[in-house]
Chains A and B, each alone.
Chain A
């Protein structure tokens, strides 16, 4: 069992920002009374805009839909359609490129028209339609792989406008909390998806079509919440929107605070082993019966779910950059735990706990940081640039780690990544942290 594998892609990454510049951002949609705009205290109840909760529920159903399919896709493609994994890998790689392009275009369109909700809804609708397509395609391999590709395009379209809408629906002081709430709801869907899919397979042995139908139903419900209940937000005047262009989007990088977020986010992304590798090493080191392998993913997602909101609130209180950097310190901790000779139980608990904490402290928080420094009319484009930069760097990290793994075995690459991350963190802290201490 040598190849690295990622189980269900429930855990997301991405996010970074500079808390001091929060006030510069233009918010046209503060719905809560002014006195609550003071720093959120622990004793206060979690308060986020209804729009954020609704977007969270949209993501919950969409992720439920998505992860049902993702969980069974390898079995479906290789056992039912008898497709070579290598070819699917190629298609997967192709998506990386197309997705980046789609994200930027989607971001520009959403900003220029001010239609965050509509662009996001298009992305969700495209993904829902692919589920219907999977039912109809039957067992033909070409349509199926095409649909998987289209589904990922849909995901590329929707992410940035959705995150922009979350940020535009939040008070600047509560951006971290808002993203925390959204990611927590999203993770609930990601956790439930594989369980629902496997439950169907137990009852319906050849029930891939049944899985696609249920997945379609969940996607339609998620889309329904978005279309019927989520409110679009205004960001900037018509005139400001007309000024949105690719050149201006690229021009965002001239802004120091934004550039720092992109550079630090990508640099840290380059030092991030994919969770698939971490699980694989854990499984070998702790001699876990691989049949329980999905529980590693599950455990990480549960920790992420539990910590997403508290860490989001903490970020709003003490500074997002601090929490973000602490999140990468947690990742470094996970690498170090992997390198120790700790007993199996401690090894697994330590790694899963730290990895979950890493996601909770970095994923939504990066988006909150970026949202705080990108002016509202350019918000979607700015977030699209950040997510694209980080995901490209993470992909590069995976390829690098994979190559090191093949050349050096499992110990050295982890040590190298740990040393590089340990050396890089102080620089990241200096770049981000100083300004928001």
Chain B
């Protein structure tokens, strides 16, 4: 029965529900205001603060401190990574710089698309490429001509809930896309290897030339592949290597491997593969490293870790020796996506 009393009760429910929800959204917006990406000038920063830092070797990263600079690309000198950071005007989720050029991946909010912005040695955007999915990884090849980026596409179907990744190689001089790794030819044990569920991610370039390593995922397994852009061919090297990162001297690959028991959230640990001997060493980091690690120098790797698993967007960049020794230490607080740049 639609009575006056019921209409009044319904009106009360509506007013209560709408105002409570509205108030919560306003509260949450206020709480998150500091981390809404903004490109407004940073207060109290000297005009050429960035220029001074990038005169010598430096580390570029994404700042995750909850302040005006949240999400900004920032730089610190390699000599003093804990020192004061200088903020650039770029807002990125992932960033990498090499050879006077860089790539910045940003998430476009609405439909989950992403933009790869190519910028010059002074962090000025020169070109951009838009694509699907959410930003995942990017690496610029030494020399600054080639780069690769990976995006995540999330979704589910009735039969299969899963992620797919797409990895593209791009030419930074022309801003052109050179290819999707899924369209490259893959060879395993001398034979052509092709499955419809191929996913590629985590490219790391070799020094000189256009060769690189990457991860191939198919049928629940991951493989380390080596390939080059000009022949558009990939070769499977071994199983179980994810998100490879080649050491500056080109002799070892740091990567992440599964360390959970298959129940609950996935956890990862870092290991190093010696390319000559095939020997794998697990590093002295107990935390859950879900990142493409980067080499600080030939003896140490660095990576981002969340401060408060699943709750806060704040991360720190940690460093640990690339063998079983030592203990992890914070290298840069409130930072993510680090990479060493030598001018």
A residues near B (Cβ < 8 Å) are: 1-7, 74-75, 78-89, 92, 138-142, 198, 200-207, 209-210, 213-214, 216-218, 220-221, 224-225, 228-229, 231, 274, 276-277, 289-294, 394-395, 398-399, 401-402, 405-406, 409-410
6 A-B pairs closest in CB distance: A5-B155, A290-B132, A291-B113, A139-B310, A89-B161, A217-B21
If A85-B162, A217-B18 touch, whether A5 touches B157 (CB-CB below 8 Å) is yes
Q: Contact at B13–A220, with CB atoms within 8 Å?
A: yes
Closest Cβ of chain A: how far from B18's Cβ, in Å?
6
If A85-B162, A138-B311, A229-B6 touch, whether A6 touches B156 (CB-CB below 8 Å) is yes
Chain B residues near A216 (CB-CB < 8 A): 17, 21
Chain A residues near B264 (CB-CB < 8 A): 83, 87, 141-142
Interface residues of B in 307-342 (CB under 8 A from A): 309-311, 313
Q: Contact at B311–A1, with CB atoms within 8 Å?
A: no
Q: Contact at A75–B112, with CB atoms within 8 Å?
A: yes
Chain B residues near A395 (CB-CB < 8 A): 158-159
Chain B residues near A206 (CB-CB < 8 A): 28, 32, 35, 313
If A85-B163, A205-B32, A217-B21 touch, whether A291 touches B131 (CB-CB below 8 Å) is yes
Given contacts A74-B155, A398-B158, could you give 15 more A-B pairs where the C-beta distance is less than 8 Å? A2-B199, A3-B160, A4-B159, A74-B156, A74-B161, A82-B310, A83-B264, A85-B154, A88-B156, A202-B110, A214-B21, A221-B13, A291-B133, A395-B159, A409-B196
Contact of A201 (CB < 8 Å), options: B6, B109, B165, B197 = B109
The residue in chain A whose Cβ has the minimal distance to the Cβ of B154 is A74
Closest Cβ of chain A: how far from B220's Cβ, in Å?
8
Q: Contact at B159–A207, with CB atoms within 8 Å?
A: no
The residue in chain A whose Cβ has the minimal distance to the Cβ of B197 is A2
Q: How far is the CA of A6 from the CA of B154 in the complex (A)?
A: 10
Q: How far is the CA of A224 from the CA of B264 in the complex (A)?
A: 36
If A202-B110, A274-B157, A291-B130 touch, whether A221 touches B17 (CB-CB below 8 Å) is yes
Interface residues of B in 191-214 (CB under 8 A from A): 195-199
* B 5-17 binary contact with A (CB < 8 Å = 1; else 0): 0100110011001
Chain A residues near B21 (CB-CB < 8 A): 213-214, 216-217
Chain A residues near B43 (CB-CB < 8 A): none
| Interface size class of chain B, counting residues whose CB lies under 8 Å from the partner chain | 35 or more
Closest Cβ of chain A: how far from B29's Cβ, in Å?
5
Q: Contact at B1–A231, with CB atoms within 8 Å?
A: yes
Contact of A399 (CB < 8 Å), options: B111, B134, B159 = B159
Interface residues of B in 48-78 (CB under 8 A from A): none
Q: How far is the CA of A349 from the CA of B220 in the complex (A)?
A: 35
Q: How far is the CA of A379 from the CA of B209 in the complex (A)?
A: 71
Chain B residues near A75 (CB-CB < 8 A): 112, 134, 154
Q: How far is the CA of A399 from the CA of B311 in the complex (A)?
A: 35
If A85-B161, A92-B161 touch, whether A207 touches B156 (CB-CB below 8 Å) is no
Q: How far is the CA of A243 from the CA of B110 in the complex (A)?
A: 53
Task: Indicate whether B153 reaches chain A with its CB closer than 8 angstroms.
Answer: yes
Contact of B310 (CB < 8 Å), options: A80, A207, A225, A294 = A80
Closest Cβ of chain B: how far from A5's Cβ, in Å?
2
The residue in chain B whose Cβ has the minimal distance to the Cβ of A276 is B157
Chain B residues near A88 (CB-CB < 8 A): 156, 161
Q: Which among B108, B159, B310 has the highest number of chain A CB atoms within 10 Å?
A: B159
Q: How far is the CA of A313 from the CA of B164 in the complex (A)?
A: 42
Q: Contact at A2–B18, with CB atoms within 8 Å?
A: no
Q: How far is the CA of A306 from the CA of B310 in the complex (A)?
A: 41
Q: Contact at B10–A89, with CB atoms within 8 Å?
A: no
Q: Contact at B6–A1, with CB atoms within 8 Å?
A: no
Q: Contact at B195–A139, with CB atoms within 8 Å?
A: no
* B 112-143 binary contact with A (CB < 8 Å = 1; else 0): 11000000000000000011111000000000
The residue in chain B whose Cβ has the minimal distance to the Cβ of A138 is B311
The residue in chain A whose Cβ has the minimal distance to the Cβ of B27 is A210
Q: Contact at B9–A228, with CB atoms within 8 Å?
A: yes
Q: Contact at A294–B20, with CB atoms within 8 Å?
A: no
Q: Contact at B311–A141, with CB atoms within 8 Å?
A: no
Task: Indicate whether B94 reaches chain A with its CB closer than 8 angstroms.
Answer: no
Q: Contact at A2–B182, with CB atoms within 8 Å?
A: yes
Closest Cβ of chain A: how far from B100's Cβ, in Å?
30
Chain A residues near B132 (CB-CB < 8 A): 1, 289-291, 293
Closest Cβ of chain B: how far from A193's Cβ, in Å?
14
If A3-B163, A74-B154, A402-B159 touch, whether A213 touches B20 (CB-CB below 8 Å) is yes
Q: Contact at B110–A1, with CB atoms within 8 Å?
A: no
Q: How far is the CA of A225 from the CA of B160 in the complex (A)?
A: 35
Q: Contact at A224–B10, with CB atoms within 8 Å?
A: yes
Chain B residues near A394 (CB-CB < 8 A): 158
Task: Indicate whether B25 reaches chain A with its CB closer than 8 angstroms.
Answer: yes
Q: Contact at B155–A291, with CB atoms within 8 Å?
A: no
Chain B residues near A401 (CB-CB < 8 A): 159
If A138-B311, A204-B29, A406-B196 touch, whether A291 touches B10 (CB-CB below 8 Å) is no
Closest Cβ of chain A: how far from B196's Cβ, in Å?
6
Task: Indicate whether B2 reaches chain A with its CB closer than 8 angstroms.
Answer: yes
If A200-B25, A231-B1 touch, whether A2 touches B198 (CB-CB below 8 Å) is yes
Chain A residues near B25 (CB-CB < 8 A): 200, 203-204, 207, 210, 213-214
Contact of A83 (CB < 8 Å), options: B111, B160, B265 = B265
The residue in chain B whose Cβ has the minimal distance to the Cβ of A391 is B158
Q: Contact at B156–A92, with CB atoms within 8 Å?
A: yes
The residue in chain B whose Cβ has the minimal distance to the Cβ of A135 is B24
Chain B residues near A276 (CB-CB < 8 A): 155-158
Chain B residues near A214 (CB-CB < 8 A): 21, 24-25
Q: Which among A139, A205, A274, A401 has the highest number of chain B CB atoms within 10 Å?
A: A205
Closest Cβ of chain B: how far from A318's Cβ, in Å?
32
Chain B residues near A406 (CB-CB < 8 A): 195-197
Task: Indicate whether B266 reaches chain A with its CB closer than 8 angstroms.
Answer: yes
Could you list 8 A-B pairs, sorted by A, with CB under 8 Å? A1-B153, A84-B265, A84-B266, A138-B311, A198-B110, A204-B29, A217-B17, A291-B112
Q: How far is the CA of A72 from the CA of B252 in the complex (A)?
A: 39
If A89-B162, A221-B13, A277-B157 touch, whether A82 touches B197 (CB-CB below 8 Å) is no
Q: Which among A2, A92, A213 has the highest number of chain B CB atoms within 10 Å?
A: A2
Chain A residues near B228 (CB-CB < 8 A): none
Chain A residues near B130 (CB-CB < 8 A): 289, 291
Chain A residues near B6 (CB-CB < 8 A): 228-229
Task: Indicate whether B290 reaches chain A with its CB closer than 8 angstroms.
Answer: yes
Chain B residues near A4 (CB-CB < 8 A): 155, 157, 159-160
Chain A residues near B309 (CB-CB < 8 A): 82, 139
Q: How far is the CA of A163 from the CA of B217 in the complex (A)?
A: 44
Chain B residues near A200 (CB-CB < 8 A): 25
Chain B residues near A74 (CB-CB < 8 A): 154-156, 161
If A207-B25, A291-B111 touch, whether A224 touches B14 (CB-CB below 8 Å) is yes
Closest Cβ of chain A: how far from B136's Cβ, in Å?
10
Q: Contact at A291–B24, with CB atoms within 8 Å?
A: no
Q: Contact at A198–B32, with CB atoms within 8 Å?
A: no
If A224-B14, A406-B195 touch, whether A205 touches B35 (CB-CB below 8 Å) is yes
